Structure 1
């Protein structure tokens, strides 16, 4: 699993073995604002840039025990700085570019980075967060990095080990504010090792594959899973700025991609385009991802000419399970079996095993002797949440699954109060807490509702105080959210209701708002506000 290796050691091995091979590439993108002609760098040349960056950080006093936040989007600089920081034992805290001021302020206060490295074009966004934060690190423009790097207030000590924190990735939790998942260097390298160990049609070829991943580098998929897989196998990661269906096939062809990553939203958008010769003019061997609709799975494979390998993972455990061995379970929600190093059980609410194929919560561990090996290090500053997730010696995933007679696990739903929209986890409690600060909102219940394109959308059931429950009020509430949280978290549907059922202790009973088996989108008076949700 390579969990006894640091990122610096893994990268050094890749450089010595595959120095002249391509390491990282960016597709051409006219009008993108950076590297419009595209970009590619070899392992050897990347190593030189990483060492130069590390020397600047080192001379300024950065090292083990420090944290550096970054707002560098999906640019190559993010990867080069991360590798430089990792070599010194510095922990990287990436900032979601969609975050608004309050969300940035929370991240800064919670993670307490020594500095923030950001694009000059993002400086005002960062200053907005800084103005609301009690923790106020220096902001250094990437373009002035070499000359403007502020020195840390605390001295560094020691060298990086596999247990050294490499990243803190923020993931939405059920209690509102995102939790900071601490990932060690050994953990991150091990996730790449697991990708490299996939079998069947999903096997990576050392030094030969080019992995196109349109997902954000501040998430574990692109920033850890595929990046570390590329490093441990000597392959190249291709990083567009984001997923754009109109550019997808051209970028894949021009970059000579042989492996692609997808989320559920990618497949229907591609299938919705008019067929063209471009969608077969590629060198793709396979795709890996999660959430393809069962009814589209076989049709997409036939139309595009490569298998879509469904897998399962989470920030807390990215050594994925995958439906990678033939015969695959195409057209189902199967995502893999337990593997060596990832034991799995399906349990009821009391932690008792349920009989196959009945559904229950998926809980996992490495082994009885070392249950937490290969998992995240814990939630930053939240030992109680960490221990709750690890109760009874098993990590509770919050995902409801069932297991077939062949051991294959099939996804059913999420047990947690989480909305999954286009690959982003949204805590209903966070949106509820914000809406309750609006002077006209008396009561609110936020929940997921099915979305044919984005998997799920945010639905807010709202009891107003005195305001008129009309479209203008709904739009005003959505704008209130858009001004304060990332656009994707804002309600896409609003339903003004006279009351929301509660228990005797005033706990909201969300499951009783709509009759079982009905689609809330068909409810009388519900308002569609999805058109207001746009990237800033």
Structure 2
């Protein structure tokens, strides 16, 4: 049996088949190091079978969903693999989520069981679990005493350490493996239904772009609740390599961590590179084994400076939760400053508002589709209309405006949709606006992105006070902190007499973006530094 993932028959592009196949190929080779556990490739299949047994004993069956709100620790991967082995789906929950968001994810996904770290339990105090289908909660680690009381009908238990192993379910490549929530723009977050084969192809494509082999050590500080980190496990599993998950990103500790792990491949987001470059130069930036890294969204100048200081070339690329690693650069790419070139197995089109393809050099929306079955997400969970809208005319509409150059390279221009990208997270302006409008002093508001010094977006809000009310921006920010993830709390707040509007009353956010940050704007960074 040779290890050529592209030669794997379509029926075997499932998580259980992948784990069993790679266990036979790589056996006792090291696969994983994460807080709470170390596995070989053979261990992974055994862990999945045991965790699937524990889930089945709790009443989870094929087709069900379990939610996981957990940091980068072994219980996350145990639950993810166990659910996939059983034919159930995992719903990762961003660990920055507060009660209202957690309630929405649980209700929309119809999850039966929640695996949650004890330190996050108190967040459930502001979630109405009676509006969800939740039946059981498994608590990982210690919970704060008296932080939260479970409602009637929801059983709370410590995370089971073992279970009776069960045989893998006869899952199909198109069966759902995970539901990953991505922020909406004009409505609540959408649950992206990721089938087994999509996860398989994420691993195949990412490993090919990075040149991952059996002797590589992949190390990431990114969170497992996003596809970027989650698919590093697939990369290591498919190639016979090893993956190390670190708890969190630390600018001062990044290079010591990479040296200690023996990392050869690293994973960074756009804003992380300027943060690392802001650190004092030192010998540790060269004293490592890292040969390459993935750095989507890293500014070209920052990428060049990073290579000069560290010797590490960062590869650029494009892929969304709904799609796959469809566009990428390579170590020998003829030029930088682009997202890259189309990869084998995908089709791309730059189109106008009627989906008509535009010539090279003209900006339009990036549309994508895959040649292989189930290599993209199958839609948005419980959102049929949004699914049809995004996949209309048999192309996935990314919502990103790009240009295709004459040499086939794709360049990012901006976002068409009203979304904000900050700290590696997509933020829904709609969701932030709903929280602001729940404040008794706010009559109307608009939330939009402005650029920061870290080559990413900052969240800005323009507000109109209710008659007779006065808005204190600092107090309003504190109000948001208990109701929004930290990265979604507006940094900038303007209090205006009115918002610019069209003749039919629609807020003209482009005028607010052009206006940007002014001398009258409240800046929350000094207050919350």
Q: TM-score, normalised by structure 2?
A: 0.90
Asked if the contact 2:315–2:331 (Cα under 8 Å) also holds between the matched residues in 1, the reply is: no
In the other structure, the counterpart of 1:408 is: 409
Asked if the contact 1:335–1:410 (Cα under 8 Å) also holds between the matched residues in 2, the reply is: yes
Cα offsets for 1:395-418 (capped at 9, x unmatched): 110111111111000111111100
For 1:76-91, list aligned pairs within 5 A.
Answer: 76-91=74-89
**Pair 1:145-2:159 in alignment:** yes
Match of 1:168 among 172, 179, 182: 179
Structure 2 gap ranges (5+):
1-5, 142-157
In the other structure, the counterpart of 2:144 is: none
- Provide the C-alpha distance between the structure 2 equivalents of 1:296 and 1:146, rounded to a whole number of angstroms: 45
- Provide the C-alpha distance between the structure 1 equivalents of 2:491 and 2:182, rounded to a whole number of angstroms: 21
For 1:320-469, list aligned pairs within 5 A.
Answer: 320-324=326-330, 326-330=332-336, 332=337, 334-367=338-371, 373-453=374-454, 455-466=456-467
After alignment, is 44-53 or 486-495 more displaced? Answer: 44-53
Structure 1 gap ranges (5+):
27-33, 150-156
- Provide the C-alpha distance between the structure 2 equivalents of 1:66 and 1:134, rounded to a whole number of angstroms: 14
Asked if the contact 2:379–2:387 (Cα under 8 Å) also holds between the matched residues in 1, the reply is: yes
**Pair 1:301-2:312 in alignment:** no
Q: How many residues align?
A: 502
SS in 2 for 1:16: helix
**Deviation at residue 276 of structure 1 after TM alignment:** 0.6
**Deviation at residue 532 of structure 1 after TM alignment:** 5.3
Describe the shift of the 1:56–1:10 C-alpha distance in structure 2 as closer, same or farther (beyond 3 A). same
For 1:99-110, list aligned pairs within 5 A.
Answer: 99-110=97-108
In the other structure, the counterpart of 1:31 is: none
- Provide the C-alpha distance between the structure 1 equivalents of 2:351 and 2:438, rounded to a whole number of angstroms: 38
- Provide the C-alpha distance between the structure 2 equivalents of 1:179 and 1:377, rounded to a whole number of angstroms: 13
Describe the shift of the 1:17–1:167 C-alpha distance in structure 2 as closer, same or farther (beyond 3 A). same
**Pair 1:226-2:243 in alignment:** no
- Provide the C-alpha distance between the structure 2 equivalents of 1:69 and 1:142, rounded to a whole number of angstroms: 13
Describe the shift of the 1:325–1:342 C-alpha distance in structure 2 as closer, same or farther (beyond 3 A). farther
- Provide the C-alpha distance between the structure 1 equivalents of 2:122 and 2:169, rounded to a whole number of angstroms: 35
Deviating runs (4+, > 4 A) in structure 1? 467-470, 531-534
In the other structure, the counterpart of 2:154 is: none
RMSD over aligned Cα atoms: 2.3
In the other structure, the counterpart of 1:153 is: none
- Provide the C-alpha distance between the structure 2 equivalents of 1:180 and 1:250, rounded to a whole number of angstroms: 37
- Provide the C-alpha distance between the structure 2 equivalents of 1:533 and 1:316, rounded to a whole number of angstroms: 34
After alignment, is 483-492 or 343-352 more displaced? Answer: 343-352
Match of 1:291 among 277, 292, 297: 297
- Provide the C-alpha distance between the structure 1 equivalents of 2:392 and 2:470, rounded to a whole number of angstroms: 44
Asked if the contact 1:105–1:132 (Cα under 8 Å) also holds between the matched residues in 2, the reply is: no
- Provide the C-alpha distance between the structure 2 equivalents of 1:365 and 1:46, rounded to a whole number of angstroms: 32
Cα offsets for 1:308-329 (capped at 9, x unmatched): 1011110001234111151342
Asked if the contact 1:265–1:454 (Cα under 8 Å) also holds between the matched residues in 2, the reply is: yes
In the other structure, the counterpart of 1:492 is: 491
**Deviation at residue 166 of structure 1 after TM alignment:** 0.7
